[in-house]
């Protein structure tokens, strides 16, 4: 049995930031366990720029952003094990992992940070009828083939889902000589950042078809085409609107799901909206000493916020290990009337700093107000020119305000259109 103060599961931007922050705050022995052959997580294949605008004030590519943290890690005594898969986080914070070199590793940790990121929603979960030929893949899988392996996954592409990954791949495939015929989006609005609509679709004349979905795939061995159709306000295909689109590749960008197998198996209950664990203001889950941050906690759109959140978790883990973390009575948060969820789900009344509440709205709002209230009383409000589901927002609660709330109080956050 190995012993470490802190075990970090996942060496992507979340894990790296949490580990570094914990080290900065006096945690002695830290080990980062990463399943890929390098650190960096999904950033390694995100070769486009747009990362670090907030955090570094620079526009970096994914690998460059990750590279900054990798360099910082190298200057510490934080132990990193790559090509290592964590199999279990058990009661009492015992972490089991495997790799080729060490075989089976059992580590007793004082605290654990879960930073496993997220995975893509697959075709099977969508009930798209038709052929199960080759040529149907998630956008992230295609991204890996192109950017890491250096292979073209297809030549004539239809993309389902206007989330950022789909938009980025529309541009990437076009640059490498493929014909991207269209991006179909089920909702009446796009799920991705506006900059990506402009720079990935408009720039290349790739049409974005809203309220449109793929209803069937065709092809014996390899995909030969798809049938698309318009959908109604209940998101159901409208009979008679079907259109056949010849293509050899269907890329799916239809949602990210936090990778919580380990969390679930360890007994943690997941928030039904975020699909991540429920946490307090320092990102501690309902299991003592187990923290969660990054995409495993809630799917982010900006890695800068992942870093920020993971630093909170790293700081929280450090406080916990040193016996300095505030515990006791809590207040709870709730998103209502247009606000889909709040992270953190609970806040210690006697917390030692201001707390940022992160959330997403469920629809597009223009010139709206975010209202934070408790027991009918308004705590704060924030005017927003534009709110949309594709962009995470936050409001800041002052420490003094939190301290004055009664125990078990529920803080509601809502949109006023």
Partner 1 sequence: MEKRELVCVACPLGCPITVTFDADGNVDTVTGNTCKRGDAYARTEVTNPTRMLTTTVKVVGGSAYVVPVKSANPIPKGMMMECMKVINEASIKAPVNIGDVVIENILGTGVDTVATNYAE
Partner 2 sequence: MTYDVAIVGAGVVGGLIARELSRFKLSVALLEKCNDVAMGTTKANSAIVHGGFDAMNGTLKAELNVKGTAMMPDVCEKLSVPFKKNGSVVVAFSDSEMEHVKELYQRGINNGVPGLSVIDQAELRRIEPNISDVAVGALLCESAGIVCPYELTIAAVENAVSNGVEFIRNCEVKAITENADGYVLDTTAGDINAKYIINAAGNFSDELAKMVGDDSIELVPRKGEYYVLDKSVGNLAVHTIFQCPNEMGKGILVTPTVDGNLLIGPTALNIEDKEDITTTPEGLKEIVEKALKSVPIVSTRNAITSFAGVRAHPVNDDFIIGWCDKSANFLNVAGVESPGLSSAPAIAIYVRDILSEKLPLTEKEEYSVTREEPVRFRHMNDEERAELIKKNPAYGRIVCRCETITEGEIIDAIKAPAGARDVDGVKRRTRAGMGRCQGGFCGSKVVEILARELDVPMSDITKFGGDSKIIYERTK
Which positions lie near partner 2, rule CB under 8 A? 35, 83, 85, 87, 96, 98-104, 106, 119-120, 122-125, 127, 129-135, 137-138, 140-141, 144-146, 149-155, 176, 215-216, 218, 220-222, 237, 259, 261
DSSP 350-379: T-SS-EEEEEEESS-EEEEEEEEEETTEEE
Nearest to 241 by CA among 200, 219, 213: 213
Shortest distance, position 122 Cβ to partner 2, whole Å: 4
Q: Which is nearer to partner 2, 132 or 382 (CB)?
A: 132
Q: Which is nearer to partner 2, 174 or 333 (CB)?
A: 174
Residues 224 and 245: beta-carbon distance below 8 Å: no
For residues 306 and 287, give the distance between their C-alpha atoms in angstroms, rounded to a whole number. Answer: 21
Ramachandran angles phi, psi of 204, nearest 5°: -110, 10
- Secondary structure of 277-315 in HEC code, one letter for each residue: ECCCCCCECCCCCEEECHHHCCCCCCHHHHHHHHHHHHH
Q: Which is nearer to partner 1, 194 or 236 (CB)?
A: 194
Residues 10 and 296: beta-carbon distance below 8 Å: yes
Q: Does 44 bind partner 1 (CB under 8 A)?
A: yes
Identify which range of 59-67, 121-129, 310-318, 326-334 contacts partner 1 by CB under 8 A.
Answer: 59-67
Among 391, 394, 399, 401, binds partner 1 (CB under 8 A): 391
Nearest to 254 by CA among 194, 169, 174: 169
Indicate the pairing of strand 330-336 with strand 410-416: parallel
**DSSP state, residue 329:** -
Total residues contacting partner 1 (rule CB under 8 A)?
Answer: 30
Nearest to 340 by CA among 392, 264, 267, 410: 392
Q: Does 91 bind partner 1 (CB under 8 A)?
A: no
Q: Does 195 bind partner 1 (CB under 8 A)?
A: yes
Tokens 């938009």 found at: 167
Q: Which is nearer to partner 2, 130 or 192 (CB)?
A: 130
For residues 333 and 343, give the distance between their C-alpha atoms in angstroms, rounded to a whole number. Answer: 8
Q: Which is nearer to partner 1, 176 or 324 (CB)?
A: 176
Shortest distance, position 64 Cβ to partner 2, whole Å: 20
Residues 151 and 175: beta-carbon distance below 8 Å: no
Identify which range of 11-19, 28-36, 171-179, 238-246 contacts partner 1 by CB under 8 A.
Answer: 171-179
Task: Tell me the Ramachandran region of residue 178: left when phi exceeds 0, alpha when psi lies from -120 to 50, beta otherwise.
Answer: beta
74, containing H or E segment: helix 62-74
Contact residues for 57 (Cβ-Cβ < 8 A; gap 6+) = none
Identify which range of 5-13, 133-141, 174-182, 248-256 contacts partner 1 by CB under 8 A.
Answer: 174-182
Q: Which is nearer to partner 2, 82 or 399 (CB)?
A: 82
Please choose which of partner 2, partner 1, none residue 220 contacts, taking the beta carbon within 5 to 8 angstroms, the exact cut-off set by kind. partner 2
Shortest distance, position 409 Cβ to partner 1, whole Å: 32
Q: Which is nearer to partner 1, 150 or 323 (CB)?
A: 150
Q: Does 59 bind partner 1 (CB under 8 A)?
A: yes
Please choose which of partner 2, partner 1, none residue 385 contacts, taking the beta carbon within 5 to 8 angstroms, the exact cut-off set by kind. partner 1
Identify which range of 74-82, 172-180, 269-277, 375-383 contacts partner 1 by CB under 8 A.
Answer: 172-180
Please choose which of partner 2, partner 1, none residue 61 contacts, taking the beta carbon within 5 to 8 angstroms, the exact cut-off set by kind. partner 1
Q: Does 149 bind partner 1 (CB under 8 A)?
A: yes
Task: Tell me the Ramachandran region of residue 111: left when phi exceeds 0, alpha when psi lies from -120 to 50, beta otherwise.
Answer: beta
For residues 11 and 67, give the distance between their C-alpha atoms in angstroms, rounded to a whole number. Answer: 12
Among 2, 47, 79, 98, binds partner 1 (CB under 8 A): 47
Q: Does 235 bind partner 1 (CB under 8 A)?
A: no
Distances (CA, A) of 123 to 239, 281, 409: 22, 35, 41
Among 90, 125, 129, 148, binds partner 1 (CB under 8 A): 148
Which parts of this chain interact with partner 1 (CB under 8 A)? 44, 47-49, 53, 59-61, 63-64, 67, 146-150, 172, 175-177, 193-195, 198-199, 203, 302, 385-386, 391
């Amino acid at each position: 049995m190995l012993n470490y103060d802190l075990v970090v599961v996942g060496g992507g931007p979340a894990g790296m930031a949490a580990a570094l922050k914990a080290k900065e705050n006096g945690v002695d022995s830290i080990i980062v366990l990463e399943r890929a052959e390098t650190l960096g997580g999904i950033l390694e294949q995100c070769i486009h720029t747009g990362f670090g605008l907030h955090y570094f004030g620079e526009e970096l590519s994914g690998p460059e952003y990750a590279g900054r943290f990798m360099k910082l890690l190298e200057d510490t005594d934080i132990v990193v094990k790559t090509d290592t898969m964590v199999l279990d986080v058990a009661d009492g914070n015992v972490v089991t992992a495997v790799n080729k070199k060490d075989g089976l590793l059992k580590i007793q940790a004082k605290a654990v940070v879960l930073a496993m990121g997220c995975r893509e929603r697959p075709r099977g979960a969508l009930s798209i009828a038709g052929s199960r030929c080759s040529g149907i893949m998630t956008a992230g899988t295609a991204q890996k083939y192109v950017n890491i392996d250096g292979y073209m996954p297809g030549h004539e592409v239809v993309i389902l889902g206007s989330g950022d990954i789909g938009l980025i791949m529309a541009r990437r495939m076009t640059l490498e000589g493929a014909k991207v015929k269209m991006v179909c989006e089920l909702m009446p609005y796009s799920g991705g950042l506006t900059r990506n609509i402009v720079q990935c679709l408009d720039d290349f004349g790739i049409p974005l078809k809203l309220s449109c979905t793929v209803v069937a795939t065709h092809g014996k061995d390899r995909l030969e085409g798809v049938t698309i159709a318009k959908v109604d306000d209940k998101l159901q295909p409208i009979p008679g609107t079907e259109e056949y689109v010849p293509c050899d590749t269907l890329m799916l960008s239809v949602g990210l799901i936090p990778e919580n197998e380990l969390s679930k198996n360890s007994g943690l209950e997941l928030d039904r909206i975020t699909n991540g664990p429920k946490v307090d203001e320092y990102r501690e889950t309902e299991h003592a000493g187990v923290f969660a941050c990054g995409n495993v906690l809630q799917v982010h759109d900006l890695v800068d916020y992942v870093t920020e959140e993971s630093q909170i978790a790293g700081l929280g883990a450090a406080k916990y290990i040193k016996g300095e973390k505030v515990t006791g009575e809590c207040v709870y948060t709730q998103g209502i009337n247009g606000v889909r969820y709040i992270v953190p789900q609970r806040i210690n009344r006697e917390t030692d700093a201001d707390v940022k509440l992160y959330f997403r709205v469920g629809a597009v709002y223009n010139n709206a107000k975010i209202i934070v209230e408790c027991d009918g009383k308004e705590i704060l409000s924030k005017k927003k020119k534009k709110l949309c589901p594709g962009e995470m927002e936050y409001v800041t609660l002052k420490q003094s305000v939190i301290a004055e709330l009664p125990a078990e109080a529920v803080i509601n956050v809502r949109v006023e259109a």
